[in-house]
Amino acid sequence: MPTGLDAETLDMILSAIDDFAAKRLPAALLRELDHKDECPEDILRDMYGPQFGIHLLFIPEEYGGMGGGAFDVYRVSEALARVDLGVSSAVLATFLGLDPIVVGGTPEQKKKWMSRVAEEGLLVAYGVTEPTAGSDLAASRTRADPVEEDGKVVGYRLNGNKQFITNGSIADLYTILAVAPGGFTFFILEKGAEGFSADKPEDKHGIRISDTAPLTLEDVFVPVENVVGGVEGQGMVQATEVFGYTRLMVAAFGLGAGVQAIERAINYAKERVQAGAPLIDKQAFTHKLLVPHAVRLEASRAYIEETARRIDDGESPLNTEGAIAKLVASEAGNAAADAAIQALGGYGYMKEYEVEKIRRDVRITTIYEGTSEIMEWTIARDRWRDNLQQRGQFYLQVVPGVDALHARAPDVGADVAALAIRALHVLIERARLGRLTRNQHILFRLGEWITLAETAACFCRYAADDGPKVSGFAPQVIKAMSRVYAREAASSIVEQGLRWIYGAEDGSADVRGLEADMNVSAIHTAQRGLLADCDTIAQALKEMSFD
Ligand SMILES: Cc1cc2nc3c(=O)[nH]c(=O)nc-3n(C[C@H](O)[C@H](O)[C@H](O)COP(=O)(O)OP(=O)(O)OC[C@H]3O[C@@H](n4cnc5c(N)ncnc54)[C@H](O)[C@@H]3O)c2cc1C
């Protein structure tokens, strides 16, 4: 049985977000709060209040929540991101902060804390990062020393510092990662504990509406019943177990912000006349500043949706797929927001037109919940392992499914996606035989090429299904988009792959053999029709209307 809400309830929540945003977070107020670098704590608390209760989405029904699934979380996260990424980040922090309890808490802890968060609308913070430990959590230094009474551990004293904690100075409840004698362990901490303080919130580049603060822990006593899971040493497992889910949420943030930026650019381009015609009618404008971004965002949507549905169908933890979704969508969102500023020219550079704020806000999505580089590493490491387990055949085993898709739906670009996957296979094997991944950069680049190839194949599957799409694009437009994306993926894999594999090899390697094995000429020939597909997509963008 898939988990999650029925379509009607999800639609109800999505329209409640729109209504709340229109009433409580109008554009002028968001601009003002951004300018003043102010977190609207009262508005956040109202979002968690009885009228709205956004946090209930993440809490299972048995504890008084709504029990939303991964697909619901994706749709709600995208909708929140379209309003404001600072507000979205505050909601994400509650979700993240609860996660250690959701995945690792004892039955009593789950009941107590999740019921309290549901009923009281508590703001939660997730305290993991430290001044000297970000990507490398194993370097964390916050200590948890046992406190014994009559030979029995009754609690722990926490000492250390946490950095960049969302909701840090306003949360009611914190989950804090610290090193106990038995290893990394999460502790549940309520605000006001003696020795626990939040310092001045940071003055940030973007998501200025969110509260981000350092935390100081000086001999803070935490009772033993607040050790998540009841035993020491489970912290790292609890922190990583839900990455499939939480990274999907940040992926949806990148998607929502990117879509919002491109829609603004499209609206503007319809009105703005230069050299006698609206910008939207100028091919060099649309094919550089709008079409590639609309395509990459829709490809990200396809990947997020497929991963979300797989999680809801019981596949877990899908951490590799969560990383691919985050990498592809957050990079697409950033590129789209950047292009949107360019599309608006001088006006894009002005605060009033809002794409400038979206550009600053969306920047965070390639940093928190694991940077893009850490995503590349995670993806490459996992697929490298999968490939070794399959004796170097992992991607060759994927190809027949993509070929079969091409036979069933010849107009979605699956033949080109198959070329991309074969070329990827050749690169991975060449890197393996030449021991090239001893160069860290080659391993990370593989992560990028894997993301391109897997997203291209996924986009073809999405395009082959003619059912309605969240974005509202017609089936023939989605198909043109998936063809464009497959061409881009295949082309990038060969160009970048050859560049870096040759760049890492010594002079004795066979050059022509590699290019023939990757079928470079077929990938070049497959670019035929690219411009016509971009024309189709540009026409579709022109015909769409956005608020
Ligand atoms: C606004 C904001 C809100 C945040 N909210 C929270 C929160 O609520 N809770 C929380 O715990 N944390 C939070 N964070 C922290 C965030 O998750 C970290 O900033 C992030 O994980 C990166 O860690 P770092 O800043 O220490 O950078 P570093 O890890 O020092 O990375 C710096 C650069 O080096 C690269 N790099 C790192 N390691 C490697 C490597 N092995 N090989 C190659 N390159 C590498 C990175 O990709 C990056 O480009 C937040 C951060 C920000 C900015």
> Closest Cα to residue 75, out of 209, 296, 243, 248?
248
Does the Cβ of 100 fall within 6 Å of ligand 1?
no
CB 155 within 8 A of CB 147: yes
State the pTM of this model. 0.97
Other CB atoms closer than 10 Å to residue 351's CB: what's the count?
11
Nearest atom in ligand 1 to 167's CA: 8
Q: How far is the CA of 368 from the centre of ligand 1 (A)?
A: 6
| pLDDT tens-place string over residues 361-387 | 999 999 999 999 999 999 999 999 999
pLDDT tens digits, 213-232: 999 999 999 999 999 999 99
Which residue has the least CA distance to atom 4 on ligand 1?
164
Mean pLDDT across the chain: 96
Q: What DSSP element (H or E) covers 143?
A: strand 143-149
In this structure, are residues 107 and 77 in contact, taking their beta carbons and an 8 Å threshold?
A: no
546 has a pLDDT exceeding 90: no
DSSP calls for 322-374: HHHHHHHHHHHHHHHHHHHHHHTHHHHTSGGGSHHHHHHHHGGGGTTTS-HHH
pLDDT at 423 over 80: yes
Q: What is the mean pLDDT of residues 169-177?
A: 98
Per-residue pLDDT at 1:
61
Q: Is 327 in the pocket of ligand 1 (CB under 6 A)?
A: no
Half-sphere exposure of 41 (CA within 13 A, CB side): 12
**What's the confidence (pLDDT) of residue 385?**
97
- Give yes or no: 352 in active site: no
CB-CB contact of 324 with 250 (8 Å):
no
165 lines ligand 1 (CB under 6 A): yes
**pLDDT digit string, tens, across residues 383-409:** 999 999 999 999 999 999 999 999 999
Residues counted in the chain: 547
pLDDT average, residue stretch 45-60: 92
> What is the average pLDDT across 284-308?
98
258-272, 310-324, 336-350, 450-464: which range is least confident on average? Answer: 310-324
Q: Which of 306, 369, 376, 454 is catalytic?
A: 369
Q: Which of 368, 372, 376, 444 to mutate to test the pocket of ligand 1 (most atoms within 8 A of CB)?
A: 368
Ligand 1 geometric centre to CA of 174 (Å): 19
* CA 8 centroid distance within chain: 25
Ligand 1 near 134 CB (within 6 A): yes
Produce one character per residue of 395-425: b if its CB has 16 or more CB atoms within 10 Å, e if not.
beebbeebeebbeebeebbbbbbbbbbbbbb
Whether residue 316 is predicted with pLDDT greater than 90 in this model: the reply is no
Amino acid found at 277:
A
Task: Output the DSSP codes for 194-255.
Answer: TTEEE-PPP--SS-TTS-EEEEEEEEEEEEGGGBTTSSTT-HHHHHHHTHHHHHHHHHHHHH
135: pLDDT strictly greater than 80:
yes
> Which of 135, 166, 444 has most ligand 1 atoms within 8 Å of its beta carbon, as the pocket-test mutant?
135
For the cut 80, the answer to whether the pLDDT of residue 511 exceeds it is: no
Atom of ligand 1 nearest to the CA of 372: 47
Nearest CA to ligand 1 atom 16: 368
* Residue 410: pLDDT over 90: yes
Percent of the chain with pLDDT over 70: 100
Closest alpha carbon to 529 in 493, 466, 479, 459: 479
Q: Is the CB of 53 under 6 A from ligand 1?
A: no
Examine the pLDDT at 299 and tell me if it is beyond 70: yes
Asked if omega into 26 is within 30° of 0 (cis), the reply is no
Query: What angle in degrees, to the nearest 10, is found between the helix axes of 355-362 and 243-271?
Result: 160
| Host H or E run for residue 540 | helix 530-543
CB 275 within 8 A of CB 431: no
Ligand 1 in reach of 367 Cβ (< 6 A) = yes
Q: What is the mean pLDDT of residues 465-471?
A: 96
**435 Cβ contact list (under 8 Å, min separation 6):** none
Buried b (16+ CB within 10 A) or exposed e, 463-499: bbeeeebebebebebbbbbbbbbbbbbbbbbbeebbe
Q: Which residues pair with 148 in a beta bridge?
A: 153
